[in-house]
Structure 1
Amino acid sequence: MTKNCNEYLIMTEKELRKDLAACYRLVAHYGWDDLVFTHISVRLPGDEPQFLINPYGMLFEEITASSLVKVDMQGNKLEDSEFPVNPAGFNIHSAVHEVRHDAQCVLHLHTNAGVAVSAQAEGLLPLSQQSLFALSSLSYHDYEGVALNVDEKARLQADLGNTNFMILRNHGLLTCGPTIADTFLRMFVLQRACEIQLMAQASPNLVSVPQPILAGIQAQAEQVTKGLGGQLAWPGLLRLLDRKNPGYEA
């Protein structure tokens, strides 16, 4: 049975580990991974701020629920793991989790299409239906080098604001959301919009979506997903994994 959003937000750590491991494997399934160099996190329930992130060195297709690394907001590992945590990944994800308490999950990728659009001066263009969902809540963050500088966190936080989609210039894509399912769906839409834009730009004659349509897109998104957001597609994605790459729940 599909969970509604409120039920999802009170999931246990065990359930969140399973879904986060599935999210990593789905990123690999769609070919969005960059060896071991991107990251997805989920904030855990409880009074102390903690989140799960990938073991730095495991391929996304290998990640399991039990292999995920639990860290605090200072980057300290809270359980034994033979793997370290990517320091750049920690900086980016801790920056979002520190200020966006509505964003339980944060997903950051370096896809070819995402990096290509991030290098375009105009960024994401309103060329497709997919682009409209991202454009309705999109921000940009200028490139400052590999994200190892703790001082960059404040600027990333300010640029993100209350948006759910971010293009990191010359770097890649980021989405966040109240659930893993919502965050994955947002990345699916943003990634697809970038792919379509690059294909469309092969033509010299492009037609942009009119601004009045963009203004009403969020309400239309609620209708399309029946108010379930990413949860509408998530059970089917888990069934896909059970067929193609089982074992993520271990």
Structure 2
Amino acid sequence: MSTVKTQVSDAEWQTRVDLAACYRMVAQYGWDDLVFTHISARVPGPEHHFLINPYGMLFEEVTASSLVKVDLLGNKVMDSEFDINPAGFTIHSAVHEAREDARCVMHLHTNAGVAVSALKDGLQPLSQQSLFALSSLAYHDYEGVALNPEEKVRLVADLGDANFMILRNHGLLTCADTIADAFLFMFILQRSCEIQLQAQATGQPLIEIPKPILIGIQAQAKAVTRSAGGTLAWPGILRKLQRDNPGFDR
């Protein structure tokens, strides 16, 4: 039995298992960037404590026990043999602090995501998938590698109450009340970027989804994102991992 499991609540352990599974599914889809992006989740309970990946561990290696528990400043609040990347937690801490509903924050540097982030017009309404992202999408302009406290303020102001964000020249971000929803939001955003790039690569004229449809979706943003079905898809994702990459729940 994991020694970490005996030290934490059942609720925290389940969050650890789900977050480790999320890391491994990112690796399974090839969305990881060695050790240089992060997914964080708030620990259930009154404390503002969070779980994040041990720095230097590949996403495919992350386990429930290896996740590191930190406070909003990135300081460890539970003994761990692993360290974290404090700079990597900067974006996450900013979003967690500003958004009570952002219990999980995903930030990735996928090829398709970075490519679309560099396009002047960003994500376009070219697919049904893109409508989910466009219903609650924000942008943040690139300010360099280091995120200083002033940029954190601008980032959360740009995010507002959106669940999807494109970080210009940088990558993608999603946040949600559950790990399952944050993962599904990233799946939708990533797939939207891939479809757009493939369509644009043909060089053929593109048909955008009519504006009245897009405006209608945006007016129902919360209803659209809440019905996306993260919780419905998550059990199947866990079953897939148990078949293909077991051990995340240790």
Q: TM-score, normalised by structure 1?
A: 0.91
Contact kept, 8 Å, 2:217 with 2:224, in 1: the verdict is: no
Change (3 A) 1:19 1:76: same
Cα deviation for residue 223 of structure 1 reads 8.2
Q: What amino acid sits opposite 1:212 in the alignment?
A: P
| 8 Å contact from structure 2 (residues 38, 52) kept in 1 | yes
Q: C-alpha separation between the residues in 1 aligned to 2:225 and 2:135?
A: 15
Contact persistence 2:23–2:39 (CA under 8 A): yes
User: Which one is further off, 205-214 or 92-101?
Assistant: 205-214
Q: Counterpart of 1:41 in 2: which secondary structure?
A: strand
Shift of 1:204: 3.2
Please say if residues 102 and 178 of structure 1, whose CA atoms lie closer than 8 Å, have aligned partners that are also in contact. yes
| Identical-pair percentage | 71
Does the CA-based 8 Å contact 2:135-2:224 persist in structure 1? no
Instruction: Mark the CA change 1:220 to 1:89 in structure 2 (over 3 Å): closer, same or farther.
Output: closer
Shift of 1:80: 2.2
Alignment of 1:141-152 (within 5 A): 141-152=140-151
1:41 matched residue in structure 2 = 40
The aligned residue for residue 198 of structure 1 is 197
Give the Cα separation in 2 of the matches to 1:220 and 1:161: 13
Question: Does the CA-based 8 Å contact 2:135-2:221 persist in structure 1?
Answer: no
Instruction: Return the alpha-carbon distance in structure 2 between the equivalents of residues 168 and 229 of structure 1.
Output: 25
- Tell me how far apart the structure 2 counterparts of residues 193 and 69 of structure 1 sit (CA, whole Å): 32
CA distance in 1, matches of 2:211, 2:177: 27
Distance in 2 separating the partners of 1:72 and 1:168: 24
Distance 1:228 1:214, change over 3 A: closer
Q: Which residue of 1 aligns with 2:185?
A: 186
Residues in 2 aligned to 1:111 and 1:223: alpha-carbon distance in whole angstroms: 24
Tell me the secondary structure at the aligned position of residue 75 of structure 1.
coil
Distance, in Å, in 1 between the alignment partners of 2:187 and 2:225 is 15
Aligned to 1:243: 243
C-alpha distance 164-176 of structure 1, shift in aligned 2 (>3 A): same
CA contact (8 A) 1:91 1:147 kept: no
- Post-superposition offset of 1:224: 10
Which 4+ stretches in 1 moved above 6 angstroms?
A: none
AA at the equivalent of 1:168: L
1:178-219 CA-partner distances (Å, limit 9, x unpaired): 100000000000000000111111223011001121233376
Distance 1:216 1:182 in 2: 22
Which residue of the partner structure matches residue 30 of structure 1?
Answer: 29
Corresponding residue of 1:18: 17
Distance in 1 of aligned mates of 2:74 and 2:65: 18
Secondary structure at the counterpart of residue 174 of structure 1 = strand
1:209-247 CA-to-partner distances (Å, cap 9, x unmatched) read 01121233376996898x472011100000000000001
1:43-85: CA deviations, max 9, x gaps? Answer: 1122221110110100000000000000001111112223321
Q: Which residue identity lines up with residue 213 of structure 1 in the other structure?
A: I
Residues paired across the two proteins, number: 240
- Greater shift after overlay, 142-151 or 154-163? 142-151
Q: Does 1:105 align with 2:104?
A: yes
Calculate the TM-score normalised by the size of structure 2: 0.91
Whether the 8 Å contact between 1:87 and 1:148 is mirrored in structure 2 is no
Q: Distance in 2 between matches of 1:64 and 1:248?
A: 4
* Residue 70 (str. 1) matches residue 97 (str. 2): no
Secondary structure of 1:151's aligned partner: helix
RMSD: 2.0
Helix, strand or coil at the partner of 1:166: strand
Following TM superposition, by how much is the alpha carbon of 1:152 offset from its aligned partner in structure 2, in angstroms? Answer: 1.4
Q: What stretches of structure 1 of length at least 5 have no aligned partner?
A: 1-9
* Structure 2 gap ranges (5+): 1-8
Match of 1:58 in 2: 57
Aligned CA distance change for structure 1 residues 167 and 49 (closer, same or farther; 3 Å): same
